[in-house]
Amino acid sequence: MIKKAVISSKLSEHATEYLKNTGFDIITFRDNPNVDKRVAYHADLSLFYDGIDTLFIANEMSEYVDLLNKYCKNVVVINRHLKKEYPGDVLLNCVCTGRNFICNAETVSYEIFDKMKKSGYNIINVKQGYTKCSVVPVSDNAIITDDESIFNECEKYGLDVLKISKGSVCLPGFDYGFIGGTAGKISGNEIIFNGDITEHPDYEEIDLFLKKYGINAVSFKGKLEDIGSIIPIGGL
């Protein structure tokens, strides 16, 4: 069994090659037919990983269950199908960092919410339904976000939060994308970005924040583009 895997979508060629060279097996989902075609390839709309041993997957993507069982102990297909319009497209768009579960409790799948609550996670309820899109986990108690409601709520729970500006992430078909959708923490000391993070107007603050937690930023030439997150599976 491969120790680590990553589910990604439309990663740049350089980012994909980097992941392969560092031992990742790449699984690319087909487009989810139920969501807006402009983001149908976004893995963070079709999949949620709790960071330990459970993957939740969209009902209409259940064909991947057998494959994902090779990488994760528990794979759960959510009951409801995703929909094109918000909030029907964000049932799985939530994020764990350490023992903190960040989500919009009104839009997240009940299967995920119940599991995380029963497992004793700190439930941080935010207004932003596109939660995973908007968060880069840095450490168990530190995140980067471009969303005001996430910033405010996570600070209340004692997380160290760097809030950065919106508008500098590309997402074809939209005015802009989200910082969380560009990134993934692929080891205990490394976060990979799809595109050049040094071109972000808040890069100096981002760099200092990452260094504070001993994290190296790996990025590549090209626009910083939201591709639906880079989701590692397995221990970091």
Residue 17 makes CB contacts below 8 A (sequence gap 6+) with none
Query: Which residue range is the domain that position 227 belongs to?
Result: 5-233
The pTM of the full predicted model, rounded to 2 decimals, is: 0.95
CATH number at residue 179: 3.75.10.10
In the prediction, which pLDDT does 87 show? 97
pLDDT band at 236 (very low <50, low <70, confident <90, very high): low
For position 4, what pLDDT does the model report?
75
Confidence class for position 1, pLDDT limits 50, 70, 90: very low
Cβ atoms of 16 and 24 within 8 Å: the answer is no
Q: What per-residue confidence (pLDDT) applies to 205?
A: 98
Considering its fold, how many domains does the chain have in total? 1
Q: Answer whether residue 44 shows pLDDT above 80.
A: yes
